[in-house]
Structure formats: structure tokens, C-alpha cells
A = this chain, B = another copy of it.
Amino acid sequence: MEQKDITEWTDMLDMSREAEKVQQLLQSRDYPAIRRALLPLPPASVADILLELPEPQSAVVFRLLPKGDAAMAFSYLPKAEQKALIHSFTDTEVLDLVEQMHVDDSVDFLEELPANVVNRILRLSAPETRNLLNRYMEMPEGSAGSIMTAEFITLDGGLSASRAIAQMRGGKRRAAAGHMVYITGEGRKLEGILSLYDLLMAKEDTVLRDLLDKAPVTVHTDTPEEEVLDLFRHHALSVMAVVDKENRIVGVITADDILELADREASEDAELMAAMHPMEDGYLETSVWQHAKNRLPWLLFLLLSGMLNGVILGGFEATFMLFPILITFIPMLTDTGGNAGSQSSTLVIRGLAMGDLSLRDAWHVLRKELAVSVLVGVGVALATFLRAYTMEGGGLGVALTVSLGLLFIVIMSKLLGGILPILAKKVGMDPALMAAPLVTTVVDALGLIVYFSVAKVFLNL
């Protein structure tokens, strides 16, 4: 292979040009050329090309690939496209796919199919495969068990390094990314892990038990996936073993699934922070109705609490009717309060999610937010003072009212933005719920009361 090809394929996010080539080859029925073009590509790029092809053509190209390559590419396809592609497949063809994919990908795929199709496929499969798939499909969503896969190799701790390698070479089991081997002892209990590299580098007669890492980080099948993610972060892992109650290894979690999980958690948090029910699918795949259902309830909830502000404002009608200029500052005051609070709540929510902050930092956060809010508050209050003092209809009284009101609003927003996420976590709620929208609504109410109370003092009302 020439060097040119390697660098060419580094830009693999846009495969449309390659898909065109494949289409031309399809028209001239040059199937061997298609196979030659696709074989050296990484599976995700083959999936990209399949995505670009119209439906009957993608199935033709898919069938040109060797079973293993086809299954790997298939596991990179979005769920909707997986279902579309197998439309014309026989049950045996689907079974081949299921058996060739990693178990976690097979299970994800099967979970999208109608129950009768799944049953048909399971009935066709070998008893061992069937048991494995059934066991994996039963794992509760959001648990370590639901993201693990079954491609791992176990070796008895009493084996010598050379015997272990010989046994691996004789075995049929595949290994997923990460390339650890799992060393077991009595009752198939996990004794430790050993990297393939250390196994390869070991003296031939060394016993595995003397080589292994005795305290690997493991989780149970029912460990929440957020905890799994935290452990991967904390220990900078590339793979992790999942064990059952008897400490027997039942699966492994690989780095690619962890990156996906981290991305999903970040998106969920961002969506909660923007006052939405998190999406299950991508933006484009989610229907208009579902989008509306995710967004309306929160908007209504915030609307109702926002109406409280209207009531408060109504109570100050006498004040603002005397000084209508005060009204023109309301949007600026509430927006700045919202922005200041959102800055603080975002930092604290991210800090809690990443493990940089914990419940015991509450006082530290409050003290810091107080200091920061005074600095920042004085900054924006000065700017506002100058504006209100110099504008038509303004003057010292108005300028003092607006700038002091703003200073107070900024301090309050930042204190609430800093502490509400920590309090939420303390009572077991998701801190991300305490983001800008909720803080804004609370701060608006308090801020308006303070603003008009200050006005009464400075404007002698």
C-alpha cells in the first residue's frame, strides 16, 4: 500500500466522494473493484459510504463485503439505517450479523427490532449465543451491565505465561479493544488483570498470578453508568471489568462506549440546564411532537412562576407610574440577573458533574461567589450609573436606584446560582435542573422587590 492512501483516509468524515465512486462501479457491475475499494477502509468509513447510497444499492454493496467486515461496518450505522438495511435480509443473514458483531452492539441492534423478529433470530441461534444475548438484553438501562460487552479472555491464575499464550491461541474467544486478559482463580472468581503487553513480555515460566495487577478497578452489573464514567475519569482507564455478586467477570466496558457515555451525559446536562426534558435520539431524528413534548412542560412551569413576578410588579404600580423611566430598566435588570446567575450555576453544575466540586465545598463556593459577585456587580453597576445619570429623565436618584438595585441583583443571582445546584445534589436532585431558567425566575422576583424598595428610598416615594 502506498503512503498516499493513509493520509488520504485521515479525512474520513466526508465519504460522499467515495460513495460516488462506488455508485459508478455499481453501474458498471464491477463488484470485485468495489470490494477492493472498501476492504482497506476503517469500518466507520464503510458505514459512511453505505449511508450515502440509496437503499437497494446499499444492500448490494453490503453483501459484497466479507461477513466480519460487513458486521463491523453495520455496528457503526445509526439505528434507523440498520433497520432499513436488513429489510430485505433473510433471518439467517440477520443471525450472521448478530453473531459477528460485538455482543453490546448486537444487543443494541436487537432491542430496536420487533419482538417477534428477535424471537425468531434467537430461536435460530446457537444455545450459547442465545443465552448470552438474553442475559445482556435483561440488563437494566443506565447500568454498567447495559454498556458492557462480552469480548474478553479469561485465563487461570495458575498458568505459566507460555501456557497461557498457547491456550489463548487455541481458543476461539475474541478480545475487544483494550487488550487486557482477566485472571481467574477458584470458582472462576476474578483475581486480577494483566495487559497483553505484560503477558507477552513475561518470562515463559512465570505464573500469571505473580504478574497480574491485583486491584483492578471493577464495577458490578448494576453499578450506575455515571459511576462507571467517574471511575474511568479518575483512574484514566482504557477498559474496565464488570463482575457479578460472586466477583466473577461477566463483561468488559471499553473506552469507546465511555466516550459516548460522557458525550451523552454532557448533552443531557446541557438540555436540563436549558429547561428541557433530555432527548432520546438526535435532533433531526426526534419528531416535532416529541420536541414540543420535551420543551413545553418546562416553559409552562417557568411561565407560571414568572407570573408571580407580574403580581409583584403590580404591587409597585404607584411607584412606577410616578417614575416611568424606572420601567425602561426592567429588562436590563432581569437579563443581567439571569446572565450573572447563569454564569455561576453553570460553573458549579459542571464542577459537580466532573467531580471537581462536592457537597463539602458549599461554603467555599458561597464565599467565592460573594467575592466575585461584589467585583462584577460593582463593574456593571458603575456602567449603569453613568448611563442612568446622563440620560434624559435620569439624574442622581434614578441612577442610584438602578445601579444599587443591579448590584444587589448580581450578588443575589451569583449566590443563588452557586448554591442551588449544590443543594439540589444534597437532596438527591439533578444539579443541572438548578440552572439559568430557575435561578432567573427566582432572582427576578426578589430583584424587582429590591429595585422598587430602593426606589422608594432614593426617590422619596
- List the B residue with the shortest CB-CB distance to A281: B356
Contact of A217 among B42, B178, B284, B351 (CB under 8 A): B42
Contact of A342 among B196, B368, B383, B436 (CB under 8 A): B436
Contact A238-B235, Cβ < 8 Å, known A196-B196, A327-B327, A444-B331: no
List B contacts of A196 (CB < 8 A). Answer: 179, 196-197, 200
Report Cα–Cα, A178/B260, bound state, in Å.
17
Does any Cβ of B come within 8 Å of A160's Cβ?
A: no
Q: Which residues in window 330-352 of A have CB below 8 A to B?
A: 330-332, 334-336, 338-340, 342-343, 345-351
List B contacts of A338 (CB < 8 A). Answer: 335, 338, 437, 440
Contact A274-B436, Cβ < 8 Å, known A12-B231, A44-B234: yes
List B contacts of A384 (CB < 8 A). Answer: 303
User: A299, B12: Cβ atoms under 8 Å?
Assistant: no
User: B217, A233: Cβ atoms under 8 Å?
Assistant: no
Question: Chain B's nearest CB lies how many Å from the CB of A416?
Answer: 14
Q: Which residues in window 229-288 of A have CB below 8 A to B?
A: 230-239, 243, 247, 254-256, 258-260, 262-263, 266-267, 269-271, 273-276, 279, 282-284, 288
Q: Which residues in window 130-187 of A have CB below 8 A to B?
A: 165, 168-169, 175, 177-179
User: A324, B320: Cβ atoms under 8 Å?
Assistant: yes
User: A376, B292: Cβ atoms under 8 Å?
Assistant: yes
Contact of A284 among B178, B292, B364 (CB under 8 A): B364
User: A230, B168: Cβ atoms under 8 Å?
Assistant: no
List B contacts of A300 (CB < 8 A). Answer: 379-380, 383
Does any Cβ of B come within 8 Å of A307's Cβ?
A: yes
Does any Cβ of B come within 8 Å of A304's Cβ?
A: yes
Report Cα–Cα, A7/B244, bound state, in Å.
11
List B contacts of A7 (CB < 8 A). Answer: 218, 243, 247
List B contacts of A440 (CB < 8 A). Answer: 335, 338
Question: Chain B's nearest CB lies how many Å from the CB of A105?
Answer: 10
Report Cα–Cα, A410/B295, bound state, in Å.
12
Question: Chain B's nearest CB lies how many Å from the CB of A378?
Answer: 9
Does any Cβ of B come within 8 Å of A89's Cβ?
A: no
Question: Chain B's nearest CB lies how many Å from the CB of A141?
Answer: 20
Report Cα–Cα, A300/B300, bound state, in Å.
30
Report Cα–Cα, A274/B191, bound state, in Å.
47
User: A375, B235: Cβ atoms under 8 Å?
Assistant: no
Which among A26-34, A115-123, A311-319 touches the partner chain? A311-319
Report Cα–Cα, A81/B21, bound state, in Å.
56
Does any Cβ of B come within 8 Å of A387's Cβ?
A: yes
User: A215, B310: Cβ atoms under 8 Å?
Assistant: no
Question: Chain B's nearest CB lies how many Å from the CB of A279?
Answer: 7
What 8 new A-B contacts, CB under 8 Å, besides A292-B376, A338-B440? Answer: A1-B214, A43-B235, A238-B238, A270-B270, A296-B379, A311-B328, A313-B328, A338-B437
Q: List 15 A-B contacts (CB under 8 A).
A: A1-B214, A6-B218, A7-B218, A10-B217, A10-B231, A42-B216, A178-B238, A232-B256, A255-B256, A262-B263, A271-B350, A275-B339, A282-B356, A299-B380, A320-B327
